Structure 1
């Protein structure tokens, strides 16, 4: 259903894939893009893929939304995972694209229940593993 403010619809596949990532841990990450006024799945990363595979899947010149299921071990030696959201908006992407993604982000994020935190990044250094770990712990 389209949002009146942003005019953006969310494809059902986005919610389905996210639920599979969250409940079944089928995927490590999902990359979403906006296509013809609708958020759609762009890429999915299998459970064996790494954070560098995830980073490499984001285009250098186009905006994307993404979620990543981050596994970690607490100080008490307990295995845990947190799903985080990335709003990817490279400096060299088109201004209109950046505006569309920025105005639709909160609406889209509300569709994905279970996100621990959000990173906004304009280049890979803003979503480095160090920053992720800082946010998780």
Structure 2
């Protein structure tokens, strides 16, 4: 039986797969991004989609639904002004305007439980529109 991490709010749990995939992204650089979704029936936050190490930020944004909420993590690589290669992990809470109110509530109240499991996130973004999480926003935050 897969182990799950209990989240205090609404009895949601985070699947073991979420934590394992995040560790692979963080330590082994196997993934560029991970998209998570809540399965209401099982009351579990689970992995929805994964982008391999060569995936782009555009692939992440294209994988997010226009009418439903998701969580995502993205490993952003960049070069500093003094020519150092760096990597920062972003947590994105995606809650588009077209999503149902119940989904917005469920994702908003479950977010902190997932964030506690994803140890090593550098920055967090909340977005209701693609412009709020554009690559320019990511670049500005990572400086």
TM-score (norm 2): 0.93
Q: Are 2:20 and 1:53 equivalent residues in the alignment?
A: no
Matches within 5 A, 1:13-52: 13-35=17-39, 36=41, 37-52=43-58
1:7 is matched with 11
Deviations 1:11-41 (A, max 9, x none): 0000000000001000000000000211000
Matches within 5 A, 1:1-137: 1-35=5-39, 36=41, 37-137=43-143
The alignment of Structure 1 onto Structure 2 pairs a total of residues equal to 137
Deviations 1:51-91 (A, max 9, x none): 11110010110100000000000111000100010000000
Moved over 3 A (4+): none
Shift of residue 4, structure 1, vs aligned partner? 3.6
Q: Distance in 1 between matches of 2:132 and 2:107?
A: 18
What residue ranges of structure 1 are gaps of 5+ in the alignment?
A: none
